[in-house]
């Protein structure tokens, strides 16, 4: 894959796009503003991934040397300039959306998230939990961004709630996975400050909180009965993740749990889509 495409982490960026598409499906709105919003989220998420790899190049040289910057396929200067161009494009599109729908919220969300992504990569990630909370907020904001475009704020906040806690849990598991490189670099993550056991308990608590509350989207009439079928499968992935991380905090198991959680999130996306028809 081309290094300038790879560094965007298109898989993640497309997942963020799916969150906005889900809001469009739930709101049955496919007008131009939400279509521009889809492009905006792809560009903004890509920009966040690029600036993150720009500031992470030393840690990634240990943990993930195959990435575009540590492997030498993209220079630091080009990565920085590339992320700024992507951020500016996303902000420009956010301003166009706000102009069309006559609401400043989409523009404000893009600008605010761009600042958070930059500061996450520059400093927030190196302090305990603030980095994890930042990524969880950014991920959850995809739903709120979509809701701000089509005027579906309440439902988007419900979905953002689940995305926030499930992403927060996964970020803690990812920090457990990166323990060795982070320790060598002196990063202040939850596993390094409070240990792997405490981290696993916190991650499991967040997973179980979101999982136990997820049927509420059916009980309060947001989604129909069909939502519960794929949700049950997603919950199996989530509960398995909680069980596995509590049982074993080895790095290899953290990798497995991180993948399980991501798969559960993708199945949860299907549940949201199926539940809104």
Ligand X SMILES: CC(C)=CCC/C(C)=C/CC/C(C)=C/CC/C(C)=C/COP(=O)(O)OP(=O)(O)O
Ligand Y SMILES: CC(C)=CCC/C(C)=C/CC/C(C)=C/CC/C(C)=C/COC[C@H](O)COP(=O)(O)O
Q: Which residues bind ligand Y (CB under 6 A)?
A: 9, 12, 15-16, 19, 45, 135, 139, 142, 162-163, 166-167, 171, 174, 210-211, 214, 262, 265, 268-269
27 binds, among ligand Y, Mg ion, ligand X, none (CB under 5 to 8 A by kind): none
Q: How far is the CB of 210 from ligand Y (least distance, A)?
A: 4
Question: Of 59 and 166, which has the nearer Cβ to ligand Y?
Answer: 166
The binder of 74, among ligand Y, ligand X, Mg ion, none, by C-beta within 5 to 8 A per type, is none
Q: Looking at beta carbons only, is 1 or 219 nearer to ligand X?
A: 1
Residue of minimal Cβ distance to ligand Y: 15
Least spacing, CB of residue 67 vs ligand Y, in Å: 10
Minimum Å distance from CB 232 to ligand X?
Answer: 26
In the complex with Mg ion, which residue's Cβ is closer, 13 or 93?
Answer: 13
CB of 259 to ligand Y, least distance (A): 8
Single out the residue of 27, 33, 56, 199 in contact with Mg ion (rule: CB under 5 A).
Answer: 56
Measured distance CA(173)–CA(72) in Å, rounded: 28
* Contact (Cβ atoms closer than 8 angstroms) between residue 127 and residue 175: no
Q: Nearest residue to ligand X, using CB?
A: 48
- Looking at residues 36 to 55 of the shown chain, list those that interact with Mg ion (rule: CB under 5 A): 52
- Quick one: what does residue 210 bind among ligand Y, Mg ion, ligand X, none, with the CB cut-off 5 to 8 Å set by partner type? ligand Y
Give the span between the Cα atoms of 73 and 11, in whole angstroms: 19
- Contact criterion met (CB below 8 Å) for 58 and 186: no
Rounded to the nearest angstrom, the gap between the alpha carbon of residue 267 and the centroid of all alpha carbons in its chain is 15
List residues near ligand X by CB under 6 A. 12, 16, 40-41, 44-45, 48-49, 52, 56, 109-110, 113, 117, 120-121, 125, 135, 138-139, 141-142, 145, 174
Q: Which is nearer to ligand Y, 156 or 214 (CB)?
A: 214
**Smallest distance from the beta carbon of 23 to ligand Y, in angstroms?**
11
CA distances from 202 to 14, 195, 245 (A): 28, 11, 10
Between CA 57 and CA 174 the distance in angstroms is 17
How far apart are CB 36 and Mg ion at their closest, in Å? 28
By CB under 5 A, tell whether 175 contacts Mg ion. no
Please identify, using beta-carbon distances, which residue of 86 and 217 lies nearer to ligand X: 86
Minimum CB distance to ligand Y smaller for 9 or for 101 = 9
């Amino acid at each position: 894959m081309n290094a300038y495409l790879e560094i965007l982490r298109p898989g993640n960026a497309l997942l963020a796009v799916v969150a906005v598409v889900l809001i469009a499906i739930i709101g049955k709105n496919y007008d131009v503003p939400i279509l521009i919003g889809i492009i905006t989220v792809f560009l903004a998420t890509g920009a966040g991934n690029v600036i993150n790899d720009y500031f992470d190049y030393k840690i990634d040289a240990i943990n993930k040397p195959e990435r575009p910057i540590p492997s030498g396929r993209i220079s630091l200067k080009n990565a920085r300039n590339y992320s700024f161009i992507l951020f500016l494009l996303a902000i420009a599109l956010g301003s166009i959306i706000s102009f069309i729908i006559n609401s400043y919220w989409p523009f404000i969300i893009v600008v605010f998230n761009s600042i958070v992504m930059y500061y996450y990569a520059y400093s927030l990630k190196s302090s305990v939990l603030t980095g994890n909370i930042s990524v969880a907020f950014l991920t959850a904001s995809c739903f709120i961004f979509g809701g701000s475009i089509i005027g579906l704020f309440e439902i988007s906040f419900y979905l953002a709630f689940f995305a926030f806690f499930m992403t927060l849990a996964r970020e803690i598991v990812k920090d457990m996975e990166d323990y060795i490189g982070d320790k060598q670099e002196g990063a202040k993550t939850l596993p390094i400050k409070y240990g792997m056991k405490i981290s696993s308990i916190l991650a499991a608590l967040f997973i179980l909180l979101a999982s136990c509350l997820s049927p509420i989207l059916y009980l309060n009439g947001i989604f129909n009965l069909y939502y519960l079928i794929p949700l049950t499968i997603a919950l199996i992935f989530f509960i398995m993740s909680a069980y596995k991380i509590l049982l074993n905090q080895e790095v290899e198991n953290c990798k497995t749990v991180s993948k399980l959680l991501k798969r559960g999130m993708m199945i949860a996306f299907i549940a949201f889509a199926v539940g809104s028809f």
